[in-house]
Structure 1
Amino acid sequence: KEEFNELTGSREITIIESKDRKLQAQFKIIGDNNQETLVPIPTGLSVEIENGVYVHPGDILGKSSRLTVKQGDITGGLPRVQDLFEARVPKEKAILSEISGKVTIGDLTKSGRVIYVLADDGTERKYVIPPGKRIIVHQGDLVDSGDALSGGPLDPHDILRAKGINAAQMLILNEIQEVYRKQGVKIDDKHIGTIIRQMFKKLKILNPGHSMFLEGEIVDRNQVMKENKRIEEEGGEGATFEQLLLGITKASLLTDSWLSAASFQETTKVLTQASIEGRVDDLEGLKESIIIGHRIPIGTGTKFYNTQVKNAIDEGKSISEIIKEFAHPEETESVEDILDF
């Protein structure tokens, strides 16, 4: 689309989506040895160069329109934080490679541009980039599992499948921190990390093995690890599982404490389900302890602390000596320690 800008007195060319989905705008660059290189142009790009101009590596061929940049600023703020905490799939998300290998740019079809990734062991994956979406890899590029092939926000669910739990946790943490940093707000990683850890607390049982779990059951991570350790010590087969990524709303409703879940959302449903299943709440968590009026299980309220205090008193130590043993102001937790289970 060509328009005349009255302010600058020049014509502006903006790329629009073709009615024929098999067609896509491209720059054709002819090298000194007459070798042609085709560069696909995403929809909405403003062309910054004239036909026939000599270009050098690194020269700008086009820029995103101001409208596109403004929309990115709006959607990249607090709504993005909410989407990350609720583990929602982002709109127009980036397409990731599931394997490590070499990139081959294929033909343009009605569905979009075809990209192949060929691994060293001969495994090949096919990906289709929708028309007008920015492709950020080139012919012959080497990519790792989890690398983006197209532009757009990264989906934590895709990162979890491709790179594992640590990469997915760090993605959510960094994306949330980036939003607040742009606003000049400084938040310690441990506050966000505590929430993220709860989002990865549940596992889905794929094969129960010799455990007490059922196939398809959603169980607390620590409970599965404890059961598997017991079974392995007895020489049995532990349960295999799939790591889940849950939004904070769903994670709160799936807590082991029905009292905590009922105080959050869907109270009638939670209480009814707990009654049908005959569930028992051991009141070991923070929320349920506050509701009942028990000592909260943090700091000096934990069973571990009180056990250590009792043992120390039996050994003849004073309270001040006990506190000094627990206090380590020179030691700081790393992000990995905060996110670790």
Structure 2
Amino acid sequence: MGSHILYWFVDCTKDVSCNVTAQLVRGALLMAIYLHGLTASETSSLTRAMTYSGETLHWPLEWNGCVVDKHSTGGVGDKVSLALAPALAACGVKVPMISGRGLGHTGGTLDKLESIPGFCSSITADQIRNILANVGCCIVGQTKDIVPADRVLYAMRDVSSTVDSLPLIASSIVSKKAAENLTALVLDVKYGRGAFMEKEADARSLAETMVEASNSMGVKTVALLTNMNNPIGFAVGNHLEVIEAIRCLHGNGPADLQYLVGQLGGRLLYKAGKVTSSTEGVNLILEKLQDKSALHTFRRMCVAQGAAEETMKELCSENADFTKLFRQSKFTTQLRSPVTGYVHQIDALWRG
């Protein structure tokens, strides 16, 4: 498939008032990609066309080499971004993290953060630059001007049942990250019962496709595969995951969460050239969790994005009363085990 065809395909998505014939042509092309795939070169061409279908973010010259980000394909209990973004910022890099909402049985980073009273994820490009200058990180939603083709194509993929196509998934994810004008990117590609992809082989194929597409856009990229046959940490649910992320920022979160934050952050710092080895990077990230500098950055980020100073002071305190800060469930059910033992696995897709 010629790259000029892919550029035409993306360019015509800008015309939201297109006729039925154009819609049919787009749907046919999506189905062709779904059935026959794209070569690495074609995937890169599609990614590039989508990236430049709208605005791209621009940074001050003094930030050259310092702008990084992380993307996760999503998993049950995945609150890694809430701890990782401020930990990275505490290490001296800039993190303009564009995140998404919950899909299927996996939660969304924005939904979790918006459980904090006052937190706003809808901010402008100028506001992003100001927050990065003053805080070092922000976690925001995709603006209407960044990769507009992705929103149109995703809606078409949904109705044409072409969502789970590797080149279409890769171009959708990478185009949004490339529009951030990043130096380096780390991808957390998940597989198992708590993720969209159950098979490790499928996750590996997606990771390889995304790394190749991202590198072709000039973004230094590394991917890690994460086993999601168990949820991350002990908490699942928006404000519950915020609480657990804050405990991680205090340096005493669940071991698997802290481990993943360290591994992703350490490899990203190494890829960006900020440390001499990934091990040094991991140790630096964990140091920022232990000395509370990442926690301080998280608090400042939330205030910059609309949360009240007093709310964040209480939320981030050592002995916070979370029952006063978050609305509690009206109904609760306590599950009692008939025997003594340990929970070794939780199947996120179990229907009973």
Q: TM > 0.5 between the two? A: no
Structure number with the higher strand fraction is 1
Larger radius of gyration: 1
Structure number with greater CO (CA < 8 Å, separation at least 6) is 2
After TM superposition, the score normalised by the length of structure 2 is 0.29
